Structure 1
Amino acid sequence: MLRLLLFIESNTSGTGRLFAHTARTLGFEPVLISRQPSRYPYVTEDAVRSIEANTADLTVLRSLVQQLARSKGVAGITSSSEYFIATAARLAAELGLPGPDADAVAACRNKATQRRRLDEAGVDRVRHAEVTEAADAVQAAIGIGLPVVLKPVAGSGSVGVRLCATMAEVAAHARVLLADPTCGALLVEEVVRGDEYSVEIFHDAVIGVTRKHLGALPHFVEMGHDFPAPLASTVADRIAGFALAATRALGLTWGPLHVELRLGEDSPHLMEVNPRLAGGFIPELVRQATGIDLIRATVELAVGRTPEVTPTRQEHAAIRFLTPPDDGLWFATEGLEAARGAPFLRDLRLYRASPLLIARRGDFQDRLGHALTSAPTLEAAVAAAELARCAIRFRVAADGTGTLATVA
């Protein structure tokens, strides 16, 4: 009888499917526990066993997990959704299974708490304030100085994150965010200057540094990534040491971590620590470039095995996301065949199909697809990804007549 590997909810970007597939590859039966399993098409397509349950209720989950442990045997409990990593860790600990410190994960997921703990540890001091009223957000912005960044204290994928250059913008965006009953509180932060990078960490060891490409302000949509980042070894080491100091200060030393920062003229400055694998297909970039399978390593760790995270090759990988040029009706796509002819292309996909009404949000949900490449040099990987991206044209009827536009 196969032992069960339980997944509490899932993400929707593709990693959830890979987690389930990897569990099977390793000889375990994946079981998705979800409030609404139908949200994840791969559950039906891949015949993944699912159990419908209120995943917001720890008591309900505890009873269900204990029942499964008695009847089937549970090898591990984890989640590919950032929102449920702490819940999975708590349940795993109660069964004596491996996992991160649930309290440390929960504290890290609250961006205000994370900032306070990093301040106390002296890792990085970015001026910030936690607020629950729009008027308080304005007062915080006055104290910090414009421009500022507003973001929900809990969230991911740049959802709700916005640069505000005036007090009117601060007040308006704060009102929009606080109107959502799930928001609770906001973080008002000083703007961190410099090029953006992320550090991919696994089990308290740095795997590598990723260079990020952002879309236009006032939003912070990630439009592409390059791995490994083209940095001098001394700079990369400095960034890596800074990221490790942050994660250790937060009590996070187990499993995958994703640290986002900006490199200024003086030193790195932290944007946030995420107690999970990177999103945006960065784990696939790492696999293409180094041979390290971070998804497999995470699953192995969750069932008590010792994963192998030694590089087996030295390549370079890049991804460029495809986004619509305008709001409106996306009714056709051109250039896919030309894009597929790009050299070094490893993956070209659209996440959704036309016709579809587009209303851009300024976060990861604006992405319609991606082109992912790997090559012996970063220059070649980047050039190929850009070539594929530029070949694709979305037809969007912004004014009701249909206009041809190249992806932004």
Structure 2
Amino acid sequence: MKHLLLVESNESITGIQACQELGYTVTLITQDIQHYLKGQPLASHPLHRVDYIHEVDTFNEEAVVDFVKEYHKVHPLTGVMSFAEFYVVQATAAAHAIGVPTMHPLAAKNARNKYKSRELCIQNGVPVPVSLLAGSVEEACQHAQAMGYPCIIKPCDGAMSIGVVLVNNERELRQAYDSYVNNRNYGRNLYGSADVLIEEFAAGPLVSVEMVTYQGKDVLIGITDRRLVGFPYFVETGASFPVQLSNETEIVEAVSQGLRALGVDFGPTHTEVALTPEGPKIIEFNPRMVGGPVPEMIKYATGIHLPVEVLRMHMGEEPNLTATVSRGAASREFCSPVDGTLLEVTGLKALEGRPDILKSHFIAAGREVSYPRSNFDWIGRVTVGGDDAAQAEQKCSEIQNGIGLHIVARPLS
């Protein structure tokens, strides 16, 4: 039986569920199993599907590589990978060390380091926003003054929009810088780099290009439209797939050119692109499969079960990336307009029994909620299918109008 080792997991356990469909033996290495269990017994948690679990310092690349090399000697592995953004570099390094299919580790590092990816893109003529690296608040202020306000401050190695802020003046920049460098804990004992980027504000709609690179070819799965709220923060509150754009060829070519510049030679990628008046500009590359509700949206819209196909290619099998249906899907995330406590969510009963609702989930009443500052601040999500993306998006708007969030605001201190 084929044996896959996963370096951590995404919160939805998507990859582990797909492994079950494929009949793989699965080993999970994690820094802390309680991060997933949260006090729940393993026997009643989805992780009970995993065959073997070992605790390893998964944020330490050397520790992961050493463990995998020794483990492989006793329990031969067919593949090593991670669906979780913060662990892709470690997983690719370990897979490369034992000679199983993977993206080149340097390409993964290039993609995860946003400044390095900017440098490589500029060297290769790939359109990206102007971006300057800052190692201190004074350097950040100097860069912003030279670039001009408004501009963006963002971590070099972040994710989930954490620490990404639009600033209009030096006071806001200093505040955003201090807020990030003093709160660099992403959870799971992960700490972001103290280096930040001061970046041109690439105004325009945001889309993401979902691709799979296999045998030297970039296969387009589709383009996802993105909805943002929370300015000066950048929080995703909706998506539709697949979006049809008049300049799709230009966008896809820019992304493929960027992937070549970074050295991406294998695996899924999720690339965010701003559609500016000057043309598409690549905001960031992610050396992993798109997350959140989008894999389920892709499956409904195209018939491609992306997590399964990504697993298969990492196990030395040929993925099937050909669409078998042509539909659309959309999602809507719900956020609180204030910091406070969620009392009740109304309007959910109207969704019960609807065959076009792919998934609906909201947090429990009584939970503390926050004004959206990152993609961790969602209260709930609804994912819906349609004849095409536009119809699914319209359904999401109607659903949003029918759902009420009843929140008690937290008193100002």
State the TM-score, normalizing by the size of structure 2. Answer: 0.91
Q: Does 1:388 align with 2:407?
A: no
Q: Does 1:97 align with 2:109?
A: no
For residues 372 and 218 of structure 1, what CA distance do their matches in structure 2 show?
A: 26
For residues 8 and 277 of structure 1, what CA distance do their matches in structure 2 show?
A: 15
Q: Does 1:167 align with 2:170?
A: yes
For residues 236 and 210 of structure 1, what CA distance do their matches in structure 2 show?
A: 12
CA contact 2:336–2:370 (8 Å) conserved in 1: no
Partner of 2:384: 373
For residues 176 and 236 of structure 2, what CA distance do their matches in structure 1 show?
A: 20
For residues 403 and 26 of structure 2, what CA distance do their matches in structure 1 show?
A: 37
Cα deviation code 1:303-351 (max 9, x no counterpart): 111010000000011111121232111122221102336672211112x
CA contact 2:270–2:285 (8 Å) conserved in 1: yes
For residues 210 and 62 of structure 1, what CA distance do their matches in structure 2 show?
A: 34
Total equivalences in the alignment = 393
Partner of 1:118: 121
Equivalences for residues 240-279 of structure 1 within 5 A: 240-279=252-291
For residues 379 and 280 of structure 2, what CA distance do their matches in structure 1 show?
A: 32
Equivalences for residues 299-310 of structure 1 within 5 A: 299-310=311-322
Q: Does 1:22 align with 2:18?
A: yes
Q: Does 1:337 align with 2:337?
A: no
For residues 222 and 359 of structure 1, what CA distance do their matches in structure 2 show?
A: 15
Give the RMSD, CA atoms, in angstroms.
1.8
For residues 250 and 63 of structure 1, what CA distance do their matches in structure 2 show?
A: 26
Aligned partner of residue 4 in structure 2, secondary structure: strand
Task: Point out where structure 1 has 5 or more consecutive residues left out of the alignment.
Answer: 401-408
For residues 326 and 173 of structure 1, what CA distance do their matches in structure 2 show?
A: 19
Cα deviation code 1:67-105 (max 9, x no counterpart): 332222211100111111111111111111000011111
Cα deviation code 1:211-245 (max 9, x no counterpart): 1111131111011011111323xx11121111111
User: Which one-letter code corresponds to 1:5 in the other structure?
Assistant: L
Q: 1:321 to 1:180 in 2, by over 3 A?
A: closer
Aligned partner of residue 102 in structure 2, secondary structure: coil
CA contact 1:327–1:360 (8 Å) conserved in 2: yes
> How far 1:53 moved relative to its partner?
1.5
Aligned partner of residue 78 in structure 2, secondary structure: strand
Partner of 2:187: none
Partner of 1:220: 234
Aligned partner of residue 146 in structure 1, secondary structure: coil
Q: Does 1:191 align with 2:194?
A: no
Q: 2:87 aligns with which of 79, 84, 87?
A: 84
Q: 1:355 aligns with which of 363, 366, 376?
A: 366
Q: 1:56 to 1:345 in 2, by over 3 A?
A: closer
Task: Point out where structure 2 has 5 or more consecutive residues left out of the alignment.
Answer: 185-190
Q: Percent identity?
A: 27
Partner of 1:405: none
CA contact 2:151–2:166 (8 Å) conserved in 1: yes
Partner of 2:305: 293
For residues 399 and 151 of structure 1, what CA distance do their matches in structure 2 show?
A: 28
CA contact 1:198–1:210 (8 Å) conserved in 2: yes
CA contact 2:106–2:263 (8 Å) conserved in 1: no
Q: 1:399 to 1:219 in 2, by over 3 A?
A: closer
Aligned partner of residue 324 in structure 2, secondary structure: coil
For residues 128 and 371 of structure 1, what CA distance do their matches in structure 2 show?
A: 35
Aligned partner of residue 69 in structure 2, secondary structure: helix
Aligned partner of residue 300 in structure 1, secondary structure: helix
For residues 77 and 364 of structure 1, what CA distance do their matches in structure 2 show?
A: 27
Q: Does 1:231 align with 2:245?
A: yes
CA contact 2:242–2:329 (8 Å) conserved in 1: yes
> How far 1:112 moved relative to its partner?
0.9
CA contact 1:112–1:130 (8 Å) conserved in 2: yes
Aligned partner of residue 174 in structure 2, secondary structure: helix
For residues 22 and 125 of structure 1, what CA distance do their matches in structure 2 show?
A: 35
For residues 381 and 286 of structure 2, what CA distance do their matches in structure 1 show?
A: 23
User: Which one-letter code corresponds to 1:162 in the other structure?
Assistant: V
The farther-off stretch of 389-398 and 197-206 is 389-398
CA contact 1:340–1:388 (8 Å) conserved in 2: no
For residues 192 and 399 of structure 1, what CA distance do their matches in structure 2 show?
A: 34
For residues 268 and 248 of structure 1, what CA distance do their matches in structure 2 show?
A: 17
CA contact 1:197–1:212 (8 Å) conserved in 2: yes
> How far 1:155 moved relative to its partner?
1.0
User: Which one-letter code corresponds to 1:367 in the other structure?
Assistant: W
